[in-house]
Structure 1
Amino acid sequence: MTLRFPLLRFLPPPGAPRRLAAAQLCNSVGDGAYYVCSALYFTRVVGLSPAQIGLGLTVAWAVGSVAGVPLGSFADRRGPRGTSVLLALATAGSVASFLVIRSFWAFLLAVVCYATAQCGLAAARQALLAGVVPPGERTGVLAHLQAVLNAGLAVGAALGGLALGAGTERAYLGVFALDATSFLVCAAFLLRLPAVAPVPGREAGEPRLAVLRDRPYALVTLLNAVLLLRMPLLSLAIPLWIVERTSAPGWLVSALFVLNTVAVMLFQVRVARPVTDLGGAGRAVRRSGLVMAASCAVFALSALPGAGWAAALLLVAGAVLQVDAEMRQSAGSWQIGFSLAPDGRVGQYQGFFGTGVPVARTLGPLLLTSLLLLWGIPGWLLLGAVLLAASYAMGPAVRRAETVQRGGEPREAVVTG
């Protein structure tokens, strides 16, 4: 019994939620290996410059963020299960194409296809989840999926590390073949889920992409994108901050990444458990803003003169606060994104809400490196203030969005604050 308990903590309930988790685990293992090796593969094997890679990824995620909405709408109209399977296969194909490309323009085309398929897949899978999981259980299932995602990324990163250690073209090609295969297996698991009936066709005069005219929902999405600026912190801004602005040892970069991954694996489900409606979501987001502001202040203090061990302790404390804020913000945003999506339009609304991720990945690195590395301690304090303000603004924005959606009468206890 004791041997089974740790595993069961990460798994969602049997049935459709567990099959979704299996699909998530498969592609996250491949993605973990891909993320570790992709930059060196494109420079050492394909022969691209860092500037070309940066430009290609920026264009790709910009296109993907725009394509997510119509692909999500397509999932609503044609059925999310079939659409998810097709987009998983498209992702596998785009990753497989990396094995043979050897020019910038081929790379650009492949990476645009990859980002488009990934953004569409994210929206279609959310619509599929909405069709097979009752509303009150969705945030809890998403928390399990996030824990499984982190576990898969950790395993994949370890496999990618072996390829980096080998440093050969064959090892890099093996990683990309693994990632492509992982999406094929993901498609197989998605195909085993129950079919979700497509929504009826549009009524006369109804816009094709109604979410683009939903200004209250657009404001909620914008605030969520601001809160997601935390995403490039751990992967880019904090590593550069440690090396250039503190006396802490460089190996701490890896330690903080492991700390974040393990914390999400262990505690995301527990943190998300109280979030079952918009009221709980609003409280989670507000608390995440407070904790994130405290985290930014602690990170700022790590640059003060002193011993390396003192800076390291401050960085660890800041990382603990940061992952706590991340888990609260994730749980709150999942509930908000689903609760405000009208029935029959979950795909397109989730596609629009999900644009915060590629926007944060595209604009976040430039904004955060400029703010933190050029401004230093004042930059951290400003970042904390912006995130705190966005978290508190989410409450009125959600209240307005729900009131408009329900025709002036909120359906459930809405966010206060």
Structure 2
Amino acid sequence: MAHLLPAPGPARTLAQAQLANSIGDGAFLVTSALYFTQVVGLSPGQVGLGLSVGWAAGLLAGIPAGHAADRRDARLVAALLAAGTGLAVAAFLAVRQPVAFVLVACLYAGCQTGLAAVRQALLARLVEPERRTEVRARLQAVVNAGLGLGAALGGLALAAHAAGAYRAVLLLDAVAFGVAALLLRRLPARRRPVARRDAPGARRAVFQDRRYALLTSLNAVMMLYLPLLSLVLPLWVVQRTVAPSWLAAALLVVNTAAVMLGQVRVARRVVDPAGAARSLRRAGAWMIVACGLFALAGVAGTPALAAGILLLGAGAQVYAEMAHGAGAWQLSFDLAPADQHGLYQGFFGSGVPVARMLGPVLLTWLIIGGGTPGWLAFAGLYAAAAFGTGLVARHAGRPAPRALVA
């Protein structure tokens, strides 16, 4: 684990904070569905609707949170959002009715999305421009390690299959975010404010930046790999292939381990917009390969053959994911004005809640319902977004819009 962390300093503290909350997240993610349905008594439909509404609220939270980080002490904003996430997780323990679940889900998703934006702003402030993508890759590797460890802890709760075990997982997640808040508060303070006060229209600057809006929109399309991994691929393995059902979990393990071990290595190649464009082109090409292999697994005649093809597809997919991450992170930093990283990163990060909201319905209909043509359609959509994002990199050398300040 130590070799994944950045060198001692602010970046390492940021990574330690992210490790703490990712351990809690990993345990929460593998147990939350059963807790809400079997312990709280909500229906799967109520849980799905509540989470969709919650991530819709999260979509609205990233930009104001990032803007607050630009204008205030970003450490304090991040610590408050981490603490707010922990309180939301703890509040899930008191949920008994669908309405209360929706309200707490909104608080949880809003704080999570805002925290992600502010962490990016902190990274941009604390790390030299030429090292940002590599450090961001290390953070991603640390997150995957934490998620894997947390998932293992959550597995113990699943094995116990007791209400007390599930509640212990929620408490663990709440405490983990509390630890993250304390670590974030230890980061160095900004020596001076970037601007004295907001000018009229300052918050709209990111919406008026057409190239950044295009980058964000294309990246949101590429972020659809999130429900692809967590929902669509497991359903495909179980319903449309003859591979053993446990392979669905194995594919997620392969993905987590590969990102933990390989993301930093892939990101080291990306240090400027030209490198970002090349990385994104590779992401598009490898996703085409991955989708073709996943589709081919659906017609494989034996469990062993289907399993082998799926594992190859998982390897191609995770390389596409790592190449996408490295290229998109580089551009998200390069195209943002130096004094508005919080605002811009909040906008850029909106692709995650969009993918979580719309992706499950879209990809289930497209792939599970459509079969091989659906896989090919998704591959084409992803590759077009990847190549389009690479084209945006050609304009990265032009001056970014100046911040609107008094």
Instruction: Give the TM bin, normalised by the shorter chain.
Output: over 0.9
Give the percent of matched residue pairs that are identical in Structure 1 and Structure 2: 55
Does structure 2 conserve the Cα–Cα contact (< 8 Å) formed by 1:43 and 1:49?
A: yes
Partner Cα distance (2:260, 2:203) in 1? 39
Matches within 5 A, 1:177-196: 177-196=171-190
What is aligned with 1:314? 309
Deviation at 1:97, TM superposition (A): 0.6
What is aligned with 2:319? 324
Greater than 6 Å deviation, 4+ residue runs: none
Partner Cα distance (1:204, 1:28) in 2? 37
Where do 5+ consecutive residues of structure 1 fail to align? Answer: 1-6, 408-417
- 2:86 aligns with one of 92, 97, 113: 92
> Which amino acid in 2 is paired with 1:336?
L
What is aligned with 2:17? 23
Structure 1 residues 205 and 26 mapped into 2: Cα distance closer, same or farther (>3 Å)?
Answer: closer
Partner Cα distance (1:198, 1:176) in 2? 37
Partner Cα distance (1:267, 1:360) in 2? 24
What is aligned with 1:415? none
What is aligned with 2:375? 380
What is aligned with 2:144? 150
What is aligned with 2:112? 118
Partner Cα distance (1:64, 1:79) in 2? 21
Matches within 5 A, 1:231-270: 231-270=226-265
Partner Cα distance (2:232, 2:391) in 1? 30
Q: How many residues align?
A: 401
Partner Cα distance (1:317, 1:228) in 2? 21
Partner Cα distance (2:145, 2:343) in 1? 29
Partner Cα distance (2:367, 2:172) in 1? 36
Structure 1 residues 13 and 49 mapped into 2: Cα distance closer, same or farther (>3 Å)?
Answer: same
Structure 1 residues 79 and 399 mapped into 2: Cα distance closer, same or farther (>3 Å)?
Answer: farther
Partner Cα distance (1:117, 1:236) in 2? 24
Partner Cα distance (2:363, 2:336) in 1? 31
Asked if 1:75 corresponds to 2:69, the answer is: yes
TM-score (norm: length of structure 1): 0.93
Deviation at 1:200, TM superposition (A): 1.0
Deviation at 1:190, TM superposition (A): 0.7
Deviation at 1:308, TM superposition (A): 1.4
What is aligned with 2:209? 214
> Which amino acid in 1 is paired with 2:168?
G
Deviation at 1:395, TM superposition (A): 2.4
- The Cα RMSD (Å) is 1.4
> Which amino acid in 2 is paired with 1:96?
A
Residues 243-300 of structure 1: CA deviation (Å, up to 9, x unaligned)? 1111111111111111111111111110110111111111101110000111111111
Partner Cα distance (2:181, 2:280) in 1? 33
What is aligned with 2:133? 139
Asked if 1:56 corresponds to 2:55, the answer is: no
Residues 166-220 of structure 1: CA deviation (Å, up to 9, x unaligned)? 1111111100000000001001111111012432135654433311222221111
Q: Secondary structure at the match of 2:223?
A: helix
> Which amino acid in 1 is paired with 2:257?
V
Bigger drift between 58-67 and 189-198 goes to: 189-198
Structure 1 residues 322 and 66 mapped into 2: Cα distance closer, same or farther (>3 Å)?
Answer: same
Q: Secondary structure at the match of 1:275?
A: coil
Asked if 1:34 corresponds to 2:28, the answer is: yes
What is aligned with 2:275? 280
Does structure 1 conserve the Cα–Cα contact (< 8 Å) formed by 2:297 and 2:307?
A: yes
What is aligned with 1:167? 161
Partner Cα distance (2:170, 2:280) in 1? 37
Partner Cα distance (1:35, 1:147) in 2? 18
Deviation at 1:397, TM superposition (A): 2.5
Does structure 2 conserve the Cα–Cα contact (< 8 Å) formed by 1:202 and 1:208?
A: no
Residues 343-387 of structure 1: CA deviation (Å, up to 9, x unaligned)? 111011000000011111111111111111111111111111111
Deviation at 1:403, TM superposition (A): 3.0
What is aligned with 1:368? 363
> Which amino acid in 1 is paired with 2:293?
V
Bigger drift between 395-404 and 290-299 goes to: 395-404
Deviation at 1:230, TM superposition (A): 1.1
Partner Cα distance (1:323, 1:76) in 2? 33
> Which amino acid in 2 is paired with 1:152?
G
What is aligned with 1:3? none
